[in-house]
A = this chain, B = another copy of it.
Amino acid sequence: MPVGELIGDPVDTREELMAATYQALCEHGYADLTIQRISDQFPKSKSLLYHHYDSKDELLVDFLGFVLDHLETTLPHDEGATAADELTCLLDHVFPTNPTTEQARFLRAIIELRAQAATNPECQTQCTRSTQYFHAQFSQIIERGIADGSFRTVEPDPVASLLVTTIEGAMLQQATTDTEMLTTVRSELDIYIERRLMTADEVDE
């Protein structure tokens, strides 16, 4: 997502720091990210940066939380939509099959950050929160579809788990390989959803 989309107009020092971190990450990648490079993108002083964060790691954990918050608060919601439409809309949001250059760069930065969770418990907490959040979103839509009779009566948890896991795999693949499977995987997910969730009438329509 473009930095404008992620940060808008930064309203305070934290948002300015988040915007600076985003730009430095896109420009240099995680491995070559330094406080100096973040500071280069920050319109205020480096000492102000250190006033907010003791270390680069602390700043990056906050940045990861900020990005996840952003993903959550920008989820599209259409109260009038059917459960099937809402599911499609959520998948479109979290699984762009034709990412822009900027989205691709951002995704690479997110995967590099996310990999830190392998050894950083605070990063792990953020990643767990994100996975659980999207799992809950899918579960709620599935529950709604079951309640209004448009979806089969299934256990929402396993279906939501498969969807979240496949999306995370698509993100990893997109960031770390040059395979071109995204469109295919998304179409196949649609087939899975149709067969697993739609009642015969819905499929026939």
Query: Which residues of A are at the interface with B, using a C-beta cutoff of 8 A?
Result: 29-32, 108-109, 111-112, 114-120, 123-124, 127-128, 131-132, 135, 157-159, 161-162, 164-173, 175-179, 181, 184-185, 187-189, 191-192, 195-196
Contact = CB atoms under 8 A, between A and B. Distances in A.
Contacts of A162: 166, 185, 188-189, 192
Contacts of A31: 116, 119-120
A161 B184 contact: yes
A30 B171 CA distance: 20
Contact of A117 (B131, B164, B176, B188): B176
A176 B30 contact: no
A192 B167 CA distance: 16
A75 to B, nearest CB: 19
A173 B168 contact: yes
B131 A173 contact: yes
Contacts of A115: 30, 111-112, 114-115, 175-176
B29 A118 contact: yes
A23 to B, nearest CB: 16
A169 B109 CA distance: 17
Contacts of A158: 184-185, 187-188, 191
Contacts of A178: 124, 128
Contact of A176 (B127, B161, B188, B191): B127
A159 B189 CA distance: 9
Given A162-B185, A170-B169, A179 B118 contact: no
B29 A177 contact: no
